[in-house]
Structure 1
Amino acid sequence: MLHKVRRPFAITTLVTLIVSGTAAVGAAQALPAQQAGLYAPSALVLSVSKGGAAPATVQRAVTLSCAPRPSGTHPSPDAACAELAEVEGEFSLLTTSQPQGRCTRQWDPVVLSATGVWQGRGVSWSTTFGNACEMRASLAEGPVFTF
C-alpha cells in the first residue's frame, strides 16, 4: 500500500518540476528549440563565380554569420559584418557604377552572389561584371567580397 501512495506523489512532483522549469536536463531537451537571444539571424554564403552562362562555375565561396557575433569561413568576419551593417545589408551599395581604374573590354564574366539571411530578412543577390578587373574596380574598398 505504501508503494501505491508514493508513485502518484512522484509523478505529481515530476510534473510540477517540469511545469515550473526546474526539471532535469533530459526534460529540458524535450522542449522545442528557441532562438538564443534577441538577435535576428544573419547567415550568408558569399561566392565569386566565373562564366556568363547559367550556372556559373563557383571559384570561391565563404560563409559569414554576423549575429550574435561575427564568424564563419570569411577571412575577416568582423570587418565584413561591419561593412554590411553600414549599408544595412543592401549588397548593391557595395559596388559603384563608376569603376575606379581602367580595364580591358574583354568578356570573361565574373559573378558575385550572396544568399542567406541578413537580420532576419532573406537575401538572394548577384551581379555580373565583364571581367575580374571590372569587378575589382567596381567594388567599394570593403572586405565583404575580399576572399
Structure 2
Amino acid sequence: MTHTYRTSALRGALLAATVLLGAGQTPAQAAPRHGLRGDWLHLTVTRGDSRSSDTRGTLLLCDPPQGHAHAAEACAELAAAGGDIDAIPAGSVFCPMIYAPVTAHARGEWKGRQVDYTRTFSNRCVLGARTGDVFALDG
C-alpha cells in the first residue's frame, strides 16, 4: 500500500507542476520570436531545384537599410510595393531563354505583417527582372 500511495502522490505532484508551468505561459503572439524591430526579411536564393545545397542568403533590414548588397534600393522597392514582392514592377529587361532555375524565398515582417514568399524563376535574369534588387544578393 505504501508503494501505491507514493506513486499516486508523485503523479499528483507532476500534474500540479505541469498545470502551474502551463498557466505561466503567454501566447506565442505576445512577443516576437526574432527580436528584430521594423521591416526585415530573411532572403535566400537557391540555384537549381529546392533540394540543392547551393543557397545564398542574407538578412535585409530596412530601418535603416542594411545587411544586403543593395539594401537601400531593395528597401525602396519594397516600400513602393507595400512590402508585396509580387507587386514590384517588372523591369524592362530581355532575358535569355536558358533554363537554369533559381528559387527565391523571403520570410520576415513588413509593417507588422508576416511575409512568406517563395517563387521559382527560370533563371537569374528573370528573377532580377521580376523582383528588382530584393534578391540581388551578390555585391
Alignment TM-score, normalising by the size of structure 1: 0.57
In the TM superposition, what whole-angstrom CA distance separates every residue of 1:116-146 from its partner, at most 9, and x where no partner exists? 111111110011111223334x335x42222
Q: 1:79 to 1:99 in 2, by over 3 A?
A: closer
CA contact (8 A) 1:41 1:119 kept: yes
Unaligned stretches of 5+ in structure 1? 1-33
1:49 matched to 2:46? The reply is: yes
Q: Which has the larger radius of gyration?
A: 1
CA 1:133–1:83 in 2, change beyond 3 Å: closer, same or farther? closer
Aligned mates of 2:48, 2:97 — CA distance in 1: 17
Once the two structures are superposed, what CA deviation does each residue of 1:1-25 show, in whole Å capped at 9, x if it has no partner?
Answer: xxxxxxxxxxxxxxxxxxxxxxxxx
Match of 1:103 in 2: 96
Q: Does 1:129 align with 2:121?
A: yes
Share of identical aligned residues, percent?
A: 30
User: Cα RMSD over matched residues?
Assistant: 2.7
Residues in 1 aligned to 2:40 and 2:114: alpha-carbon distance in whole angstroms: 10
CA separation of 1:75 and 1:126: change in aligned 2, threshold 3 A = same
For 1:54-108, what per-residue CA distance to the aligned partner results, in whole angstroms no more than 9, with x for missing partners?
A: 44435321111123x222x202322221111000101012363x973141243x2
Amino acid at match of 2:107: T
| 2:73 alignment partner in structure 1 | 79
Q: Distance in 1 between matches of 2:47 and 2:92?
A: 19
2: CA distance between counterparts of 1:123 and 1:58? 23
* 1:119 paired to 2:116: no
Q: Number of paired residues?
A: 103
Q: What are the ranges of 5 or more consecutive residues in structure 2 without an aligned counterpart?
A: 1-30
Query: Could you tell me which of 55, 62, 69 is aligned with 2:58?
Result: 62
Q: Name the residue aligned to 2:130.
A: 139
Retained in 2: the 8 A contact 1:56–1:111? no
* 3-state secondary structure, aligned to 2:117: strand
